[in-house]
Amino acid sequence: MQQMPLALGLPPQPSMENFVVGANDLLCQALTGWLAGLDPSPAPMVWWGPTGSGKSHLLRAVAHALSQQGIQVGWLDAAQATQDGFDTRWGAVFMDDCHALSPHAQHAAFNWFVHAQDATVKVMATSACPPVDLPLREDLRSRLAWGQVFALQPLTDAQRAQAVQARAHALGLSLSEDVTRFMLNHFARDMVSLMALLEQLDRYAWQTQRVPTIPMLKAMLGST
């Protein structure tokens, strides 16, 4: 008889603390300094990188930190069907995956940008490429490009392994170095995919009441 999985192992709330910094210390220092009130500049801050590099994690981490302080924020991303107008109560504006914004979303983003600049409200955004190369309307692209721009550096294999092990520990999952290495060598190497695989393995371990091994990982994937 298999044990039903408990409601455990939910993905953690993105935060600055659970982001693996790697070679991105300058960006993380800039974000931490801004949250601490050390950077009063209204210039936008943009960081870019490939899928799974942690762009959205950092953006949501900053938004969550502000919400913990009782500060309301505006959030716009490519997945939204509609975008509301600018709210003067916002303490910051966040734009995720700017490279994929529809023409309608670009119109909303530009409107938010103009009002944010008038109100000296910080704009933070992410994209898959440098702002100057974004396939956006020129007035929005130029505004995204004039502030601080950071390129997210990919993690090394050792840093990826560190992140997987840290998340496994947070889940209460005993994960050997062999299993971690197998995951890195045989599956998608971006952190989004690796964390999704780890969450699946955690649920399967609860169901089977077994400690994760390479044969168990193969059996899990074969059963799904």
SS3 186: helix
pLDDT at 12: 59
Between 37 and 128, whose confidence is greater? Answer: 128
Does residue 128 contact residue 97 with C-beta atoms inside 8 Å? yes
Whole-number average pLDDT of the chain: 88
Instruction: Report the share of the chain in percent with pLDDT over 90.
Output: 59
At which residue do the structure tokens 């969550």 appear? 64
Q: What is the pTM of this model?
A: 0.79
Nearest CA to 205 out of 160, 170, 155, 171 is that of 171
Domains of the chain and any CATH numbers: 25-151 (3.40.50.300), 157-223 (1.10.8.60)
Query: Is 80 exceeded by the pLDDT of residue 124?
Result: yes
Please give the pLDDT value at position 189: 79
The predicted pLDDT at position 94 comes to 97
Q: Which residues contact 176 (CB under 8 A, 6 or more apart)?
A: 212, 213
- CA angle 32/37/106 to nearest 5° reads 75
pLDDT digits (tens, 9 = 90+) for 129-175: 999 999 999 999 999 999 999 999 888 888 889 889 988 988 889 89
